[in-house]
């Protein structure tokens, strides 16, 4: 029935003012215009009745002014007259939009500490020192991943005070754990005091950096790293003169001390319970993943493992810094994938079509990350060869390939963890490390096979799991 027909029928109706009879059309027409937005989007007349009452029209006013028995009768009339045409809801802000600035900054923060190790090489010679550094790396990476999980869980609840308290207590407990682990390692290996101090500083920096990054204070980390990076870069540029080694070592100490001071400064004023047992249990997969990631990255550069007795693994050294830088590219690509999958979820009406398209997006994201990592490794290799720091050899290509596969596997593991799959990635990494350790006698071939297998498994698993729409809500 058209609007003109309704208007004609309304004009032929009995005069208003009598109980139960509607008023002339012009009054209703005005209401239709006034409440047009509500009427067009209303699922039923009850929504319109609620809007009328909210506007001050009760049953008595409706009966006196418009001639309807009550608000609900008037709402029914408005619902009949105004065609249903619900407006599209306003677009929600995209939580996965990320510019290049933050990932680039994170990539620098992940790689700049690499300047510390060549500068402190004179203080870290010998198998005992390498063992101490390895213990520090394994314990602090594991603790920092667990601490980051706890911090982000509290931060996601909007409880800033509890977040600060959790990070503050978590930092203290984790730092104590690193110190105890290094003390035991020092007693067992007889490592020099300088190596123990450097290992403790490495652990404190990683934990402090975790606190600052959870609190979105990444730029302060540049200030924390500045003294050590400048001293290390200058020391290397001067050809590592022996007379400056001790002075540079003291300057390197400034970084962990600054990181610790800022971590405690920014977490002041926190309240609430620092930990809950269920949260601690939920943080275990993240801590285990951090432990395994550190083990997989460190494996090729440990003399008794991947490099051989007294050997230097050139391929691992050429790939280590670019792999750290690539974590910035991994972060940007992860956000890119989440943004694209979110758009697909909103625009695709069939689950099968969504699954096929989102798998293609996943493959595109993995390809983007691998291409970025290849370019970074190529740039580092060219720089090392032209400057004479390293030269090509037969094992370098295989080692770089193994690190490239490891980087792709880490990217997929991190993506799966952000999408709720927190058990399978650490389990796969543990299996790959066990294979690598058991077959270390085969050299680079074993490492390349283990990392390629890890990448393939996580890729197949991610394609199967992340093709489900339920994972993207």
Whether the Cβ atoms of residue 303 and residue 311 lie closer than 8 Å to each other = yes
pLDDT of residue 64: 83
How far, in Å, CA of 294 to CA of 37, rounded? 58
The DSSP line for 355-398 is: HHHHHHHHHHHHHHHHHHHHHHHHHHHHHHHHHTS----HHHHH
* pLDDT tens, residue by residue, 190-238: 888 888 998 999 999 999 999 999 999 988 988 888 888 888 888 878 8
Mean pLDDT of the chain: 82
Residue 38 predicted with pLDDT over 90: no
Q: pTM to 2 decimals? A: 0.75
Residue 21: band (very low, low, confident or very high) from pLDDT cuts 50, 70, 90: very low
Whether the Cβ atoms of residue 350 and residue 430 lie closer than 8 Å to each other = no
Which residue intervals of 55-192 are DSSP H helices?
59-66, 71-81, 101-111, 116-119, 127-156, 160-189
User: What are 392's two structure tokens?
Assistant: 């090509």
Torsion angle, alpha carbons of 62, 68, 71, 73, to 10: -160
Q: Of 337 and 378, which is predicted with more confidence?
A: 337
User: What are 125's two structure tokens?
Assistant: 């010679």
pLDDT of residue 3: 40
- Lowest mean pLDDT segment, chosen from 27-36, 332-341, 358-367, 457-466: 27-36
Q: Of 472 and 21, which is predicted with more confidence?
A: 472
Residue 171: band (very low, low, confident or very high) from pLDDT cuts 50, 70, 90: very high
Residue 377 predicted with pLDDT over 80: yes
Q: What is the mean pLDDT of residues 33-40?
A: 84
pLDDT of residue 411: 95
Phi-psi sector, 239: left (phi>0), alpha (psi -120 to 50), beta: left
Residue 23 predicted with pLDDT over 70: no
* pLDDT tens, residue by residue, 149-160: 999 988 888 888
Whether the Cβ atoms of residue 358 and residue 467 lie closer than 8 Å to each other = yes
Residue 123: band (very low, low, confident or very high) from pLDDT cuts 50, 70, 90: low
pLDDT of residue 19: 43
CA angle 273, 278, 281 (to 5 degrees): 115
pLDDT of residue 313: 58
* pLDDT tens, residue by residue, 428-443: 999 999 998 888 888 7
* pLDDT tens, residue by residue, 67-107: 888 888 888 888 888 887 766 656 666 666 766 677 778 77
CA angle 435, 438, 441 (to 5 degrees): 115
How far, in Å, CA of 158 to CA of 163, rounded? 9
How far, in Å, CA of 277 to CA of 292, rounded? 23
The residue written with tokens 């009598």 in the block is: 18
Q: Of 322 and 464, which is predicted with more confidence?
A: 464
Helix (H) or strand (E) holding 440: none
* pLDDT tens, residue by residue, 304-321: 554 444 444 556 666 777
Domain boundaries, the chain: 3-81, 101-275, 307-473
Strands (E), 273-384: none
Residue 268 has phi, psi (to 5 degrees) of -70, 150
Q: What is the mean pLDDT of residues 122-140?
A: 83
pLDDT of residue 211: 94
The residue written with tokens 């408005």 in the block is: 78
pLDDT of residue 237: 80
pLDDT of residue 10: 37
- Whether the CA torsion 300, 320, 259, 225 is positive or negative: it is positive
Secondary structure (3-state) at 89: coil
């Amino acid at each position: 029935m058209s609007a003109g027909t309704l208007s004609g029928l309304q004009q032929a109706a009995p005069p208003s003012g009598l109980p139960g009879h509607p008023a002339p059309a012009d009054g209703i027409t005005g209401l239709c215009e006034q409440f047009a937005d509500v009427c067009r989007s209303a699922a039923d007349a009850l929504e319109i009745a609620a809007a009328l009452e909210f506007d001050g029209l009760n049953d008595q006013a409706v009966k006196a002014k418009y001639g309807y028995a009550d608000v609900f009768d008037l709402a029914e009339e408005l619902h009949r007259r105004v065609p249903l045409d619900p407006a599209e809801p306003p677009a929600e802000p995209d939580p996965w939009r990320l510019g290049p600035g933050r990932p680039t900054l994170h990539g620098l923060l992940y790689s700049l500490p690499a300047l510390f190790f060549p500068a402190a090489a004179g203080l870290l010679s010998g198998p005992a020192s390498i063992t101490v550094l390895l213990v520090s790396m394994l314990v602090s990476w594991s603790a920092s991943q667990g601490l980051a999980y706890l911090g982000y869980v509290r931060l996601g609840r909007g409880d800033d005070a509890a977040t600060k308290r959790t990070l503050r207590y978590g930092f203290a407990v984790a730092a104590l754990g690193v110190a105890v682990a290094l003390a035991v390692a020092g007693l067992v290996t007889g490592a020099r005091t300088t190596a123990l101090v450097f290992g403790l500083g490495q652990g404190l920096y990683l934990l402090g950096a975790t606190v600052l990054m959870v609190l979105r204070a990444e730029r302060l980390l540049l200030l924390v790293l500045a003294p050590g990076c400048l001293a290390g870069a200058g020391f290397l540029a001067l050809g590592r003169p022996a007379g400056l080694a001790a002075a540079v070592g003291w300057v390197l100490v400034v970084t962990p001390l600054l990181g610790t001071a800022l971590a405690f400064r920014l977490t002041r004023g926190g309240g609430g319970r620092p930990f809950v047992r269920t949260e601690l249990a939920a943080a275990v997969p993240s801590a285990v993943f951090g432990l395994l990631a550190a083990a997989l990255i460190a494996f090729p550069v440990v003399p008794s493992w991947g490099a051989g007795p007294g050997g230097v693994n050139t391929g691992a050294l050429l790939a280590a810094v670019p792999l750290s830088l690539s974590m910035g590219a991994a972060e940007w690509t992860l956000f890119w994938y989440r943004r694209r999958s979110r758009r697909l979820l909103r625009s695709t009406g069939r689950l099968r079509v969504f699954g096929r398209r989102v798998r293609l997006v996943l493959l595109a994201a993995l390809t983007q990350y691998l291409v970025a990592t290849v370019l970074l490794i190529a740039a580092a290799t060219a720089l090392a060869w032209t400057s004479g720091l390293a030269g090509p050899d037969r094992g370098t290509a295989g080692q770089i390939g193994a690190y490239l596969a490891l980087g792709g596997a880490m990217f997929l593991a991190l993506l799966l963890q952000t999408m709720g799959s927190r058990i399978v990635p650490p389990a796969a990494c543990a299996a790959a490390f066990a294979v690598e350790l058991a077959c270390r006698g085969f050299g680079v071939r074993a490492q390349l096979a283990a990392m390629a297998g890890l990448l393939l498994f996580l890729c197949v698993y991610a394609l199967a799991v992340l093709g489900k729409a339920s994972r993207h809500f």
